[in-house]
Amino acid sequence: MKGVVLVPAVRGPDWLAEVLPGLGPAELPLAGRRWIDYAVEWAEQAGYGMVEVLDWRFSEAVAADFADLTAHPIPVFYQRGEGELPGAVADLARQSSPLAPGAAAGDAEVDVVWGLELAGFRIDSVAAWHRANLDLLAGTGFGGRRFTLPGYSAEAGVHLGRNVVTEPGFEAKKPVLVQDDAWCARNVRLDGSCIVGRGSFVGEGTRLERTVVADRTYVGTDLELVDKIVVGHRVIDAASGAWVDIGERGIARALGGWTWPRWALAAADFLRGRANRGRRP
């Protein structure tokens, strides 16, 4: 096949700008990776010889990652989309480079992926984003395909990153993904289909189920979150897309990287939990 043209920014979803401001669709986090990373792996699995990406939300970070054309099994050409967003393959051909000449004539060997859609599954809402995360974790993402997840996997359904800390009483039911530098405090329970992002902290006694915790996010003590997404200080209901900002209540907040020593954060979390329990009748 000649190649595949991916256009991650076309008809971009409004929810993305509200939930993850500053990130383009290509950078949408999914099960420890970005949408564009899964799109490229999908193209590899489909047998394409190259990938050309036109992105109207051009990202310097993505461009740097794909600058080395030998870094992936197939070359990836990441380029800035200019002018009006194309509405059809013929319009796309005017923006596309000569690497995909068949696009002008609708060549069947050139596949065009519009927006955040892949293998027939479109991420057009928070609910779809939540489902995509859990499907990828379960090995049934984007058309039932199994993709590469980050981290070490000693057994099917369990993926652990580097420098993961789990305190006594920690329990996890697969599938689960705990990414680099994450910390799960005492008696944390991950009751299946859970993702804990890089550098995140889950407080003592908290139970998560079918929940995604974004990178560098603090989740407080003694909580029970089911079918939720936690991003910084915001907890989002996966089904409805409704959210609440709860940073002021100490339930969740953005960490902004590990600016505190992790032991200090753990100690503060531990003491807060003890104080709260002491006030109960």
Peptide bond into 175 cis (omega under 30): yes
pLDDT for the residue 22: 86
Q: How far from 223 is each of 112, 187, 207, CA to CA, in Å?
A: 43, 11, 6
Q: Which residues contact 128 (CB under 8 A, 6 or more apart)?
A: 121, 122
Tokens of 265: 């954060």
| Beta carbons within 10 angstroms of residue 59's beta carbon | 20
Tens of pLDDT, residue by residue over 186-203, are 999 999 999 999 999 999
Q: Are 107 and 3 in contact (CB under 8 A)?
A: no
Q: Has residue 278 got a pLDDT over 60? A: no
pLDDT for the residue 268: 57
Which residue's entry shows tokens 């069947």?
108
Average pLDDT over residues 207-218: 95
Average pLDDT over residues 64-72: 89
Question: What are residue 113's phi and psi, to 5 degrees?
Answer: -105, 120
**Helix boundaries (H) for 60-167:** 60-65, 89-95, 126-138, 141-144
> Can you tell me the distance from the alpha carbon of 134 to that of 247, in angstroms, rounded to the nearest whole number?
25
Tokens of 161: 């990153």
Nearest to 229 by CA among 68, 185, 242, 61: 242
Peptide bond into 73 cis (omega under 30): no
Tokens of 182: 């994450």
Q: Which residue has the higher pLDDT, 26 or 86?
A: 26
pLDDT band at 262 (very low <50, low <70, confident <90, very high): low
> Can you tell me the distance from the alpha carbon of 188 to that of 124, in angstroms, rounded to the nearest whole number?
32
pLDDT for the residue 277: 46
Q: Which fold has domain 152-278?
A: UDP N-Acetylglucosamine Acyltransferase; domain 1 (2.160.10)
Domain ranges of the chain: 3-144, 152-278
Classified as helix, coil or strand, 15 is helix
Tens of pLDDT, residue by residue over 153-176, are 878 889 999 999 999 999 999 999
Tokens of 138: 């379960």
Nearest to 26 by CA among 11, 5, 8: 8
Range of weakest confidence among 88-102, 150-164, 249-263: 249-263
Q: Has residue 70 got a pLDDT over 90? A: no
